[in-house]
Amino acid sequence: MTQRIEERLREIAQIPLADQGLELLDIELKSGSLRVTLDSETPLDLDRIAQASALISRLIDDSVEFDDMGRFNLEVSSPGLERTLRTESHFKRFIDSRVNIKMKPDFVGPRRLTGVLKKVEDGSVTLQTSDSSVNPPIDLKVGIDEIERARTVFEWGSPKPPNSKASGGSKRTGKTKLTANKTAKD
């Protein structure tokens, strides 16, 4: 039933949301909450999220297929920095990005994988992962249907190459100081 509700909501909401410049990324019914994740080419603010929430609520109220759902909370949000990946098109958007993947319990091999998403084709993804016991990094191909959960990993800044110069031409010492919002080199 859960899958049917998610598919039905996608069918009735995708076009009206697209008319408002919104892309329906994900729908998840879990623990009494119907979670809808939206994205847009322009920044999503609270007003646009509230309008989308009202639209989705109206669509659900007007559709008889949702009558037997009982009580639930509707949660409409933007994807945030770390995005859930469920479909092949989701994965394709984030090729060359770092991802965390949790495999389904019956998967033969490590259950949790982290690496760079290298390829997406024919219902599978190729992840370049590095295991501390194996050098160099290895490419691991897994089926999307074998994945329980996948998310992008947000990384603050990018590391500077060795022997790079700081502004003003002074050399960096290589000592790292961590703060709440960035990594800085002294």
CB-CB contact of 9 with 58 (8 Å): no
- Low-confidence winner among 4-13, 155-164, 168-177 (lowest mean pLDDT): 168-177
User: What domains appear along the chain, each with residue ranges and CATH number?
Assistant: 2-77 (3.30.300.70), 88-152 (2.30.30.100)
Instruction: With cut-offs at 50, 70 and 90, classify the pLDDT of residue 3.
Output: low
0.75 surpassed by pTM = no
β-sheet with 112-121: strand ranges across = 138-143, 124-129, 112-121, 98-103, 147-152
Alpha-carbon distances of 19 from 39, 42, 45, rounded to whole Å = 13, 14, 17
Q: Is the pLDDT of residue 100 over 50?
A: yes
Model pLDDT, residue 87: 86
Model pLDDT, residue 95: 94
Q: Please state the φ and ψ torsions of residue 22, each to the nearest 5 degrees.
A: -115, 140
Model pLDDT, residue 185: 44
